[in-house]
Amino acid sequence: MARRIHIRGRVQGVGFRPFVHQLAQALGLSGWVRNAGDGVQIHLEGVAEAFLQRLRAELPPAARIDALDVAELPELDTEGFRILESEEGESGVGEIAPDLALCPDCRVEVAGTGRRHGYPFTSCAHCGPRFTIIDSLPYDRPRTAMAPFALCPECASEYADPVDRRHHAQTIACPECGPRYWLEQGGQRADEDVIERAAELIRQGGIVAIKGIGGFHLACDAGNEAAVAELRRRKHRVRKPLALMARDLEQLRHYAGVGEEEARLLASAAAPVVLLPARGGLAGNIAPGMQSLGFMLPYTPLHQRLMDGLERPMVLTSANRSGEPQCIDNEEAQGELAGVADAWLMHERPILRRLDDSVLRVADGRPRIIRRARGYVPESLPLPEGFESAPSLLAMGGDLKNAFCLLGDGRAVLSAPQGDMQGVAVQRAQREALADYQALFGHQPVAVAVDGHPDYHATRIGREMGLPIIEVQHHHAHLAAVMIEHGLPLDGPPLLGICLDGIGLGSDGALWGGEFLGVDYRSCERLAHFDAVPLPGGEQAMREPWRNLVAHLNQALGWRGVEVCCGDRQGLDFIRLMLERGINSPPASSAGRLFDAVAALLGQAPERQDFEGEAAMALEALAAPYMGDERIFDYGCDMDVDGVIRWRLLWRGLINDTVAGLELGLCAARFHHTLIATLTRAAHSLSEEGDTILLSGGVMQNRILLEGLSRALRDSGRQVLSPSAYPANDGGLALGQAVVAVAIMQGKQSPAQ
């Protein structure tokens, strides 16, 4: 008998076929292996048991098997074992490997004296770009951005050699036949020693635009405060933290604290930016007001060589004008970055898909993705029990940190972040990305899931598609994303979810964001919530934290409270009028705005925020060193019988403490502690021992809050599920929208439920 094995999972572009080839030969089996649109097919003749065992046990590092089907066939008498050309044809939502960081073998090779010495495009079957160079599936060189680079004889023989690390590596290249870098500066082009020249420019305080894997970056010396200030000035980026690259872990440890889990993530094939506690020694304007720095390690030979030419870390931030998408095209980069960069280090291989660096931090012992992009996208999430017959769906996401989601064939693919949808350029890029993903994955949705907020651009674009629309409540989507990430089945029991967020539209038409919800995939019931406080000036209150301070004080303590804390502020009378008459002051039960208000009271909030969450992040940083202080106590807020959590005692306590001259850090710590204690008490009254509680929403990115609340709930016998591989912020919204929409559609089809 022969066997036909069909494998789905991450099996294309990760050295899987060469691995199968070697394994079959080692076991003396004949047959073939080939890429199919949705995975890999293997034909085996001979006794296959050992093969199947070792296939799973010895899988290449970046490969993953989701499903493996074996069918028995009559023998075909094939001779030997071969790798066949790919099968053309239907693709469906197949699995495409994410871009993989430079592997240890290639790193050694680039540093060595062989023919790839110093070659910036060195890669192999286990490393190199994937998603950003794939034009269409199946993954083979003619359908990638490497197609124009015909293999030289030496590369061709490595490619054909079954025992070579580059056997069937589609990104194979060398200085003889592959793409090259050049440097443009002041209208002049240099082709020799260009990486050394770029490093020299950075050492001298210059700003260099560098074409990487998923887009252009801007680089400068991270130890040079003037260079960083100039970069901020040219890029119109006021205070938002800048990402850094260090040469290696050893250098990184001079500037930041690195735990075991962080070290593992930094060195992983995804090579994300990891937020680490800063130790000083670099320019003070890299992340003003923050106590952490975002570091990554070199993930291409180019980055490695640049870092080898520098004495200290460099700033490496995505190259775009503020609010615009990252540049990916050479001419576009030269135009857009004129006056921003001093020189351009570019190459001739097109970037087919924009993909920023990923950002994460470790909290409560697990990685927490903040921005899920290079190294993770487009890895798919296999859907759990009950979703087997889910139709193809598109979910549009939110307007901040927009990402969309394709669901179909029992899996969900969350797109790369598209940016904030207020900008017309981002909207255009998002439409292009939608079309691109749908073509690449052969995805044809039968319905579109959107947020209920009528003003979201993402919702409007979704409605324009002319397909049936399913509205999903904002915080329901946040919590459903956690449920699906943790593999909860479609028909599980309702759970308690705590969603602490900025602003989202509630099912009653009001603005929500501090919510206790009873949720399953299909439905969502509001059980308790933060007291609703007006947003004086609406949109303006999102950007200006002091407005929330005025509104919170007025609500908790009356106008006298406002006068005690903010009496010297200009324009207060006008705000008072707005609040009294309810002019442009929609009430919102937002947790994010509570953080803004407290940050403003404790002097941590800028007059106008430069980016979402700025004040809240500063407040967290202020509190962190005091969280172990024995003077911490709980101001004693509680939930009313009607399920409303009011913050009057919090405000009274904070004002007493600040008037008494208590350290601001201790006040910030007492605030965090009070929040955790209040949430825990409310959760206790809404759940029973042994229950599972879901946590999500942008505010849950606060590490003190996530860790403190998780610990308190676990200590009282609750299980806690929180976001890890998908963002807690609106970047993860579309994943939740997609699965809620499936549940709603299937609920309609089966009236028995």
- What type of residue sits at position 368? R
**Applying CB under 5 A, does 342 fall inside the site for Fe ion?**
no
Q: For Fe ion, which is the closer residue by CB, 512 or 647?
A: 512
**Applying CB under 5 A, does 451 fall inside the site for Fe ion?**
no
Q: Among Fe ion, Zn ion, none, what does residue 741 contact (CB within 5–8 Å per kind)? A: none
Position closest to Fe ion via CB: 501
**Applying CB under 5 A, does 485 fall inside the site for Fe ion?**
no
**Smallest separation (angstroms) from Fe ion to the CB of 504:** 5
Pick the binder of Zn ion from 7, 42, 44, 103 (CB under 5 A).
103
**Applying CB under 5 A, does 38 fall inside the site for Fe ion?**
no
d(CA 273, CA 246): 11
In sequence order, the β-bridge partners of residue 381 are: 412
For residue 333, CA distances in Å to 186, 205, 326, 337, 428 come to 14, 21, 9, 6, 17
d(CA 451, CA 471): 6
**Applying CB under 5 A, does 152 fall inside the site for Zn ion?**
yes
**Applying CB under 5 A, does 106 fall inside the site for Zn ion?**
yes
Q: Tell me which stretch binds Fe ion (CB under 5 A): 412-420, 500-508, 532-540, 568-576.
A: 500-508
d(CA 369, CA 361): 7
**Applying CB under 5 A, does 612 fall inside the site for Fe ion?**
no
Q: Among Zn ion, Fe ion, none, what does residue 501 contact (CB within 5–8 Å per kind)? A: Fe ion
Q: For Zn ion, which is the closer residue by CB, 152 or 649?
A: 152
Q: Among Zn ion, Fe ion, none, what does residue 124 contact (CB within 5–8 Å per kind)? A: Zn ion
Q: For Fe ion, which is the closer residue by CB, 516 or 651?
A: 516
**Smallest separation (angstroms) from Zn ion to the CB of 363:** 31
User: Residues 561-600 vs Zn ion: string with x where CB under 5 A?
Assistant: ----------------------------------------
| Torsion sign across C-alpha atoms 406, 701, 221, 195 | negative
Q: Among Zn ion, Fe ion, none, what does residue 379 contact (CB within 5–8 Å per kind)? A: none
**Applying CB under 5 A, does 158 fall inside the site for Fe ion?**
no
- Contacts of residue 283, Cβ cutoff 8 Å, sequence gap at least 6: 222, 223, 224, 225, 227, 228
**Applying CB under 5 A, does 62 fall inside the site for Zn ion?**
no
**Applying CB under 5 A, does 174 fall inside the site for Zn ion?**
yes
**Smallest separation (angstroms) from Fe ion to the CB of 400:** 8
Contact 325, 419 (CB under 8 A): yes
In this structure, what DSSP letter does residue 715 have?
H
Contact 449, 470 (CB under 8 A): yes
**Closest among 178, 205, 172, 210 to 305, alpha carbons compared:** 210
Q: For Zn ion, which is the closer residue by CB, 53 or 157?
A: 157
> How do strand 524-530 and strand 511-519 relate by DSSP bridges?
antiparallel
**Applying CB under 5 A, does 515 fall inside the site for Fe ion?**
no
Q: For Zn ion, which is the closer residue by CB, 155 or 677?
A: 155
Q: Among Fe ion, Zn ion, none, what does residue 600 contact (CB within 5–8 Å per kind)? A: none
Pick the binder of Fe ion from 45, 262, 657, 730 (CB under 5 A).
730
User: Residues 476-515 vs Zn ion: string with x where CB under 5 A?
Assistant: ----------------------------------------
- Contacts of residue 325, Cβ cutoff 8 Å, sequence gap at least 6: 354, 418, 419, 425, 426, 429
Q: Among Zn ion, Fe ion, none, what does residue 177 contact (CB within 5–8 Å per kind)? A: Zn ion
> Which H helix or E strand runs over 32?
strand 30-36
Q: Tell me which stretch binds Fe ion (CB under 5 A): 48-56, 501-509, 515-523, 585-593.
A: 501-509
**Applying CB under 5 A, does 501 fall inside the site for Fe ion?**
yes
**Smallest separation (angstroms) from Zn ion to the CB of 248:** 17
Tokens of 261: 């889990």
Pick the binder of Zn ion from 27, 52, 65, 177 (CB under 5 A).
177
Q: For Fe ion, which is the closer residue by CB, 351 or 477?
A: 477
C-alpha dihedral, 346 to 349 to 353 to 359, nearest 10°: -50
- What type of residue sits at position 620? E
CB atoms near residue 714 (< 10 Å)? 13
**Applying CB under 5 A, does 314 fall inside the site for Zn ion?**
no
Q: Among Fe ion, Zn ion, none, what does residue 127 contact (CB within 5–8 Å per kind)? A: Zn ion
- What type of residue sits at position 26? A
Q: Tell me which stretch binds Zn ion (CB under 5 A): 124-132, 207-215, 223-231, 613-621.
A: 124-132
# chain residues binding Zn ion, by CB under 5 A: 10
**How many residues would you count in the chain?**
753
CB atoms near residue 49 (< 10 Å)? 8
Q: Among Zn ion, Fe ion, none, what does residue 409 contact (CB within 5–8 Å per kind)? A: none
Q: Tell me which stretch binds Fe ion (CB under 5 A): 55-63, 223-231, 241-249, 727-735.
A: 727-735
**Applying CB under 5 A, does 161 fall inside the site for Zn ion?**
no
Q: Among Fe ion, Zn ion, none, what does residue 290 contact (CB within 5–8 Å per kind)? A: none
For residue 427, CA distances in Å to 13, 624, 737 come to 31, 37, 19
**Smallest separation (angstroms) from Zn ion to the CB of 349:** 14
Q: Among Fe ion, Zn ion, none, what does residue 176 contact (CB within 5–8 Å per kind)? A: Zn ion
Instruction: Return phi, psi of residue 187, to 5°.
Output: 80, 0
Rg of the chain over all Cα atoms, to the nearest angstrom: 27
Quickly tell me which residue has 């009356």 as its tokens: 558
Contact 339, 232 (CB under 8 A): no
Pick the binder of Zn ion from 124, 209, 479, 500 (CB under 5 A).
124
**Closest among 307, 339, 103, 346 to 217, alpha carbons compared:** 346
d(CA 631, CA 653): 14
Quickly tell me which residue has 């209040």 as its tokens: 678
d(CA 128, CA 302): 12
d(CA 46, CA 49): 9
Contact residues: Zn ion, CB under 5 A = 103, 106, 124, 126-127, 152, 155, 174, 176-177
Contact residues: Fe ion, CB under 5 A = 501, 504, 730
